[in-house]
Chains A and B, each alone.
Chain A
């Protein structure tokens, strides 16, 4: 899974700590997701989608083979 979290965060001028507060998680969690070391739960993905006003599959990009 690839993620555009860092790019979207830069677009909206948010630092990790601010995004973490808005997503109601720790900064470590945001950092892990950005480094693609953690696949977030659906709830966190939905919150991120809401914050960036982007569909989930525009934030998290899966390869075709991951989905079949």
Chain B
């Protein structure tokens, strides 16, 4: 009952906020600031890529030093956290580069910018293939799959122990719930933007809807068939 109450209050507030936004008119649309956005997002992507590469080198350097006692634990903890940071920087860099390339292509910008954005996408994509190698550097004694292995994700999950799976389950379940919420939020924002700017985002709304249905179906089918 308490949850229903919160949901109801949220829905009422949400309705009035969206209703108020629908009356607003966006003075500037994405199309008008596309050139600036290309440089900003491309720059952010490049910075994140450089940070990820620095992190990779730091991990590789530290992994080769032989330590004992408490120092070995401290190094392992540092490596684990650094690997997470590098993964986040690398993945974010790839997403920013894809957005940059999309903006360049959609808004018909200079060919040089298109080449720059394409190279950025390729570099960030290539950096994600370094991650499995990095894991092998960090844990040489473990039987980890090669990046080129078929069913890499499945094999990586199989080689994880119960503690790692426990941590992953917590993280993924939280992420799954927030993905559902954020994508619904994105649909609302796109609707508001479409109405206010008179630039239809219906296709994007439709795709997000399909993604929502797909991920929920995948999750339910996965747990239902066990």
- Please give the residue numbers on chain A whose beta carbons come within 8 Å of chain B beta carbons, in ascending order: 15-18, 21, 24-33, 37-38, 40-41, 44
Number of A-B contacts (CB under 8 A): 46
Q: Does B161 contact A (CB under 8 A)?
A: yes
Q: Does B73 sit within 8 A of A, measured CB to CB?
A: yes
B23 at the binding interface (Cβ < 8 Å):
no
If A15-B68, A28-B167, A29-B162 are given as contacts, then 9 extra A-B residue pairs at C-beta distance below 8 Å, sorted by A number, are A15-B72, A17-B72, A17-B76, A26-B164, A28-B163, A29-B161, A32-B167, A33-B163, A44-B162
Complex contact A16–B73 (CB within 8 A): yes
Interface of B, helix, strand, loop or mixed by DSSP = helix
Residues of A within 8 A of B164 (CB): 26, 28-29
**Residues of B near any A CB (own CB < 8 A):** 68-70, 72-73, 76-77, 80, 139, 141, 160-164, 166-167
CB-CB under 8 A from A33, the residues of chain B are 163
Within 8 Å CB of B68, what residues of A? 15
With a CB–CB cut-off of 8 A, which chain B residues contact A44? Answer: 162
With the chains together, A45 CA to B139 CA distance in Å? 23
Q: Given A21-B141, A38-B166, do A26 and B161 touch, yes or no (CB 8 Å)?
A: yes
Structural contact, B72 and A18, CB atoms closer than 8 A: yes
The 10 closest A-B pairs by CB, nearest first: A29-B163, A25-B161, A32-B163, A17-B72, A16-B73, A27-B76, A15-B73, A28-B163, A17-B76, A29-B161
Secondary structure call for the A interface = helix
Structural contact, A38 and B70, CB atoms closer than 8 A: no
Chain B residues lying within 8 Å of A28, measured Cβ to Cβ, are: 80, 163-164, 167
CA distance A29 to B68 in the complex (A): 19
Distance (Å) between the CB of B74 and the closest chain A CB?
Answer: 9
Give the residues in chain B near A25, CB-CB below 8 Å: 161-163
Cβ–Cβ < 8 Å partners of A30 in chain B: 163
Chain A residues lying within 8 Å of B141, measured Cβ to Cβ, are 21
Q: In the docked arrangement, what's the CA distance between A33 and B69, Å?
A: 19
A43 to chain B, nearest CB (A): 9
